[in-house]
Amino acid sequence: MLWRVATLVLSTPEGISLERRIAGAGSRFTAATLDAGLIGVCYLLTVLFLLVILAVDVTGLSGLLIGVLLGGLPLCMAGYHLALHLIWEGQTPGKRALGLRVVSADGYPASVAQHLLRSALWPLDAFVPPLPFGVLGLFLIAGTPRHQRLGDVVAGTVVEREDADPATRDPYPGKRWSELRRRALADRPGLAARLDDQDYDYLRRLLLRGDLRAEERRGLFARTAQLYRERLELPPVEDPQALLGELYLFLRDARAQRA
């Protein structure tokens, strides 16, 4: 079961199906091990710091803090996962190193509520006695069709595998919408409010598709550009791919400004 390959098919409103690979138990265990090592180092440094304070602390407050810290390890680890997944859009340092990302089970970016619920159930996957650390979660990941631990099942999330080459994760690395010479969207105030993360994710994956013949690619881009033109009330364009690329860069810049 550890090597069974699972896929996630994202069906877009434009009628296009995009297939993604779901991460298996092996890669997720490795990512979790890296995260646990990082947490352990930070945790140990914090305890050592409090022990030094304890040596000169006449109030005994630092000793109380050490006791709370030792007893609250599961909560600290759950908080680590929640904070990093929210900040890095579904990734922790371990997941980023392995090219993994938490997404909603429908293929779109996971919501704050999904990350919160997933992290809240993380201690159950990791610390359910009498099983050793993480065995329950590993068993569920290996045995479920979508490689989901308990938190994933309840929150409705999966962990997908991204392209191993970081350079291919962005169709236009180094480019910015604000630096384009010709910007068809420059005189469209309020456009960012009519688009969301689903549009950004869809456009990024569409522009990265390399499995289509030239004719299929042109047809797909033309249909998608037409749908966005009608939805956003944009004028006709000569180059559909240029319009889609500008929309993607526009959304990427907007996301960067929000961050």
Query: What per-residue confidence (pLDDT) applies to 175?
Result: 87
For residue 4, pLDDT over 60 is answered with no
Alpha-carbon dihedral of residues 48, 49, 50, 56, nearest 10 degrees? 110
Contacting residues for 94 by C-beta, under 8 A, at least 6 apart:
30, 31, 32, 33, 34, 35, 38
For residue 55, pLDDT over 80 is answered with no
What is the rounded average pLDDT of the residues 32-60? 79
User: Tokens at residue 50, please?
Assistant: 């409090």
For residue 132, pLDDT over 70 is answered with no
Query: What per-residue confidence (pLDDT) applies to 164?
Result: 44
- Residue that wins the pLDDT comparison between 23 and 4: 23
Cα atoms in the Cβ-side hemisphere of radius 13 Å centred on 80: 21
- What percent of the chain stands above pLDDT 70? 80
The residue whose two tokens read 């803090």 is 65
Identity of the highest mean pLDDT range in 11-20, 65-74, 96-105, 178-187: 96-105
Nearest Cα residue to 151 out of 167, 161, 136: 136
- Residue that wins the pLDDT comparison between 122 and 6: 122
Per-position DSSP letters for 46-111, written without gaps between them: HHHHHHHHHHH-SS-HHHHHHHHHHHTHHHHHHHHHHHHHHHTTS--HHHHHHTEEEEETTSSBPP
Residues 103, 146: Cα–Cα separation, whole Å? 12
Nearest Cα residue to 122 out of 70, 161, 73, 89: 73
Query: What per-residue confidence (pLDDT) applies to 129?
Result: 66
The sheet carrying 100-104 orders its strands as 6-11, 17-22, 157-161, 100-104
- The model's pLDDT over 78-120, given as tens digits with 9 standing for 90+, comes to 888 999 999 988 999 999 998 899 988 877 788 899 999 999 9
Residues 75, 69: Cα–Cα separation, whole Å? 9
Does the reported pTM lie above 0.85?
Answer: no
For residue 229, pLDDT over 80 is answered with yes
Treating both helix axes as pointing N-terminal to C-terminal, what angle do 61-71 and 73-87 enclose, rounded to 10 degrees? 70
Residues 211, 205: Cα–Cα separation, whole Å? 12
For residue 181, pLDDT over 60 is answered with yes
What is the rounded average pLDDT of the residues 204-228? 86
pLDDT band at 154 (very low <50, low <70, confident <90, very high): very high
Query: What per-residue confidence (pLDDT) applies to 166?
Result: 42
Query: What per-residue confidence (pLDDT) applies to 68?
Result: 66
Identity of the highest mean pLDDT range in 72-76, 153-157, 181-185: 153-157
Alpha-carbon torsion 187, 224, 172, 194, what sign? positive
The CA distances from residue 131 to 6, 34, 124, 138, 139, in Å, are 26, 21, 11, 11, 11
What is the rounded average pLDDT of the residues 204-215? 82
Query: What per-residue confidence (pLDDT) applies to 165?
Result: 44
Residue 7: φ, ψ to 5°: -130, 155
Residues β-bridged to residue 161: 21, 100
Q: Hey, where are the domains in the chain?
A: 6-162, 168-254
